[in-house]
A = this chain, B = another copy of it.
């Protein structure tokens, strides 16, 4: 299930997978496009077999849909779908947080979360918009990965990971491209306060609070989306995966 197994394009099929995913995410293959095996195989200079294999995996990822008569089409996302995917991530991360709080987590796991929060703290400088962006972004991703597993449930961890796999719904969706907007950098202070609160709620076994906080935390991504739509729609083209969003 996990894409642990795409090392370096060792096999033709993993190379095709990576290649196709790239083409889909950067919009080279628009949503709704039907993928034909023969032309793709020719283009990638491989046979149909690994192409099929790659498409099958992309269907697993949710980037392709199977069509009933056979074959695949690139899935289309509208802005409502993006909003809903973000909402779902919030809901599922909220569930992970709630279950972690209700069931309790080990002292070590809690210490690890606090360590990550401390690391995130260290990314902030004196001024409100002074942030070490790369470090923040990476630690933020780690925070969300750890949070997903904190309830000790593989099923929950998996589904959280799954919905966060859509690039525009991932916790770091807006990070790289909004980095030079001061308002966005300042908003990270709030996000970090939420990180802290989520951990403290889990530690205090406050399940409902942990869930609500995690949901609200995900809505930061939604606010960023709305900001982009309102202030500068052209920014969208630079956001990862948004090329496949049509509306």
A residues neighboring B (CB under 8 Å): 1, 4-5, 52-53, 56-57, 59-60, 62, 65-66, 68-69, 80-81, 84-85, 87-88, 91-92, 95, 99, 153-156, 159, 163
Q: Give the distance to chain B from A178, nearest Cβ to Cβ, in Å.
A: 23
Judging by beta carbons under 8 Å apart, are A68 and B5 in contact?
Answer: yes
New contact pairs (4) apart from A1-B65, A1-B66, A88-B159, CB-CB < 8 Å = A56-B60, A81-B154, A84-B153, A88-B155
Q: How many copies of this kind of chain does the complex include?
A: 2
A7, closest chain B residue (CB): B68
Residues of chain B with a CB closer than 8 A to A53's CB: 52, 56
* Shortest distance from the beta carbon of A94 to any chain B beta carbon, whole Å: 8
Bound CA–CA A57/B99 (angstroms): 30
Whole-angstrom distance between the alpha carbons of A5 and B59 in the complex?
A: 14
